[in-house]
């Protein structure tokens, strides 16, 4: 155990966060996301599991260590609802609020069509799967600089 690091952040996740550089992207997702399949295509190459944890709790913990990219218009991306691009799922506002609180300002979150999200996830640095039941609990966070 280390002082000042949220215990939700396991050693593998902290290691991956430390390896990431400016512009690298981290996917955080629910149990429905094809995380294992997509993780094989990422820079990290394997899935990071944070079982027993929901998305909001994980995002709050990650954001204590993770600077968001301020050089892009939308440093956070989420998956659109299939068949209704304007639909809002409860998890969207939960994560938006957690991100905004962590930055003390509103942060732009861009919606991506399902398969565009999967492609973006494949080119991410790493994928972190929570135990959140979802649905549509799929987000991409772009890392900035300190």
Q: Which residue has the tokens 């944890």?
A: 53
Determine which one of 30, 49, 69, 132 is catalytic.
Answer: 69
C-alpha span between 105 and 111 (Å, rounded): 19
Three-state SS for the chain is CCCCCCCCCCHHHHHHHHHCCCCCEEEEECCCCCHHHHHCCCCCCCCEEECCCCHHHHHHHHCCCCCECCCCCCCEEEECCCCCCCCCCHHHHHHHHHHHHHHCCCCCEEEECHHHHHHHHHCCCEEEEECCCCCCCEEEEEECCC
Determine which one of 30, 33, 118, 136 is catalytic.
Answer: 118
Determine which one of 22, 33, 41, 86 is catalytic.
Answer: 22
Residue 6 annotated to the active site: no
Residue 41 annotated to the active site: no
Active site residues: 22, 69, 118
């Amino acid at each position: 155990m280390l002082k000042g690091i949220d215990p939700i952040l396991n050693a593998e996740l902290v290691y991956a966060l430390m390896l990431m550089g400016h512009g690298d992207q981290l996917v955080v997702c629910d149990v429905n996301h094809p995380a294992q399949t997509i993780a094989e295509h990422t820079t990290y190459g394997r899935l990071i599991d944070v079982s027993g944890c929901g998305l909001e709790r994980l995002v709050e913990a990650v954001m204590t260590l993770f600077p968001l990219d301020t050089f892009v218009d939308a440093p956070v991306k989420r998956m659109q609802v299939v068949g209704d691009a304007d639909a809002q799922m409860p998890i969207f506002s939960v994560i938006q609020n957690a991100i905004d609180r962590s930055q003390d300002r509103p942060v732009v979150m861009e919606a991506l069509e399902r398969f565009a999200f999967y492609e973006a996830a494949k080119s991410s640095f790493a994928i972190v799967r929570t135990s959140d039941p979802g649905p549509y609990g799929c987000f991409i966070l772009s890392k900035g600089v300190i």
